[in-house]
Amino acid sequence: MTPWTIYREGALDPAGHAQIAATLRAAFPTYPGAFEGRRSWAGARPELRVTINDDTGVAAHAGVLRRFIQVVRPDRTVEQLVAVVGLVAVRPDRQGSGIGRQLGAGIAAALDELAVPFGLLGCNEPVRGYYRSIGWQQLPPTRSFYCPLDVEDPARVVDSSDGWFVLPVTEPFDRWPDGDLHWNGAQV
């Protein structure tokens, strides 16, 4: 039996959203107000949720959303289908327990279920080793443009150039097109 469960977004009830939101609040304390009440998303709303539960609720979570990302070079633009992964969190009291590896296997299973060419995520330096250890491959410094969750300035675009990772699913890593990433929307 797998330790994770994959949920379709429409299958989650309000109590499930509240449990996920509580885990995200605990895991991301630097985003006060982002996960209030039953709000279990911060940017684009996920299509799938991967969760691992324990006796006190959701111990680990990741959100997944299929979308096309434009990969832009001066000579061409490729519309690349990916499954964007975000909201990856392990509740603080479970960090260091190995549950993150189990969550990584659940994310890979969700990507396999979606049969996309690649998974795509962005992350900060402290967690890059984790993603490398579960099979993600870091892109060379790549500019990425996306819209943050910003109700005050909804036209603002973030330009970020480091920490982008790809997980090959149905295509090998060498098939990833090189160029700038244009999300044309928010991240998960």
> What is the Rg, in whole angstroms, of the alpha carbon atoms belonging to the chain?
16
Per-residue tens of pLDDT for the chain, all 188 residues? 679 999 999 999 999 999 999 999 999 998 878 899 999 988 789 999 999 999 999 999 999 999 999 999 999 999 999 999 999 999 999 999 999 999 999 999 999 999 999 999 999 899 999 999 999 999 998 888 777 665 556 666 666 777 899 999 999 999 999 999 988 777 78
**pLDDT reported for residue 149:** 62
**pLDDT reported for residue 76:** 94
Return the DSSP state at 113.
H
**pLDDT reported for residue 150:** 57
**pLDDT reported for residue 175:** 97
Nearest to 86 by CA among 37, 135, 24: 24
**Neighbour tally for 17: CB within 10 Å:** 18
Q: What is the pTM of this model?
A: 0.92
Distances (CA, A) of 178 to 60, 140, 154, 174: 32, 9, 28, 10
What structural domains does the chain harbor?
5-182 (3.40.630.30)
Q: Are strands 118-122 and 158-160 parallel, antiparallel or unpaired?
A: unpaired
Nearest to 54 by CA among 12, 112, 95: 95
Question: Strand, helix or coil at 138?
Answer: strand
Sign of CA dihedral 164, 170, 173, 178: negative
Sign of CA dihedral 14, 15, 16, 21: positive
The count of residues in the chain is 188
**pLDDT reported for residue 160:** 73
**pLDDT reported for residue 152:** 59
**pLDDT reported for residue 129:** 95
**pLDDT reported for residue 159:** 65
**pLDDT reported for residue 183:** 86
**pLDDT reported for residue 86:** 94
Amino acid at 97: S
Distances (CA, A) of 83 to 8, 28, 70, 109, 167: 14, 22, 13, 12, 9
